[in-house]
Structure 1
Amino acid sequence: MSLVSLENTITLAMSVRDRHVSARWYHDMLGFEVIYHADEAGWSEIQTKTTGVTIGFGEQAEPAPGNCVPVFGVADMDSARQALEGANVIFDGPTDVIEGMVKTATFYDPDGNALMLAQDLTGAA
């Protein structure tokens, strides 16, 4: 039994210079479809060909090459985070909340690889 109950979704989050250009490239090269562009949050998301797997693009002036953070969907961020912190899992700071959109929290595996939890606040999930 795991400490956290994950949903059947995963988003691969990447930093990019221009979300719209990246979304177009993934569409043209791989046939992925845009789900949405959230300009106020600096975030875009595309649907891969695999059910439940999306790619999210966060705009950065200088993205780190080769970066990718798996984002695991959870139904209840607070209880998931509390369970992981209770097992001495290190988080990079407080939970980020974009009201009406999402709660996110970045944490690290034993080798320092970044992972993220996300709770959908749109009511669509």
Structure 2
Amino acid sequence: MQLVSLNNTITLAMSVRDRHSSAEWYSSKLGFELLHHIDEAGWSEMLTKTEGVTLGLGEQSEPSPGNTVPVFGVADIETARGSLEAAGVRFDGETETIEGMVSTATFYDPDGNALMLAQDLTARG
């Protein structure tokens, strides 16, 4: 039985030292298109060549190579999180919200792999 209704989008989030430089690399080498840099959040997002898949670049001073976190888009993060928690899924802290942008919640699979739920809060029409 499916507990969470996903919205056919996924963001592959990875840690990088310099988001702007990394975005240039992904653009020139793989043809990804920059969607936005959100400097106050230390985040950049790129449109990949695969429909519904974006690449998120989170800036960290010491990134962990090979640690990519799949971020699954949901329409209602509170409902999705509640369903998973009720089924015994472990979350890492509270849901985080950047007003007018996104709400995210990190959770773990049985092997301790990090995954994330994200609700888009932008007013796209």
Shorter-normalised TM range: over 0.9
How many pairs align? 125
Instruction: State the match for 2:46 in structure 1.
Output: 46
What 5-or-longer segments of structure 2 have no aligned partner? none
Instruction: State the match for 2:100 in structure 1.
Output: 100
Per-residue CA deviations over 1:52-111 (Å, capped at 9, x if unaligned) read: 100000100000111100000000000000000000000010000000000000000001
Distance 2:44 2:124 in 1: 17
The offset of 1:124, in angstroms, is 1.5
- Residues 104-115 of structure 1 aligned to structure 2 (within 5 Å): 104-115=104-115
Instruction: State the match for 1:61 in structure 2.
Output: 61
Distance 2:67 2:8 in 1: 23
| Partner AA of 1:99 in structure 2 | E
- Match of 1:55, SS state, is strand
Distance 2:32 2:108 in 1: 29
Distance 2:37 2:57 in 1: 9
Distance 2:102 2:32 in 1: 22
Instruction: State the match for 1:79 in structure 2.
Output: 79
TM-score by length of 1: 0.98
Instruction: State the match for 2:88 in structure 1.
Output: 88
Distance 1:50 1:79 in 2: 28
The offset of 1:123, in angstroms, is 2.0
The offset of 1:31, in angstroms, is 0.6
Instruction: State the match for 1:19 in structure 2.
Output: 19
Runs of 4+ in 1 over 2 A off after TM superposition: none
Seq. identity, %: 73
Distance 1:77 1:50 in 2: 24
Give the root-mean-square deviation of aligned CA atoms.
0.8
| Partner AA of 1:61 in structure 2 | S
Instruction: State the match for 1:70 in structure 2.
Output: 70
- Residues 110-121 of structure 1 aligned to structure 2 (within 5 Å): 110-121=110-121
TM-score by length of 2: 0.98
What 5-or-longer segments of structure 1 have no aligned partner? none
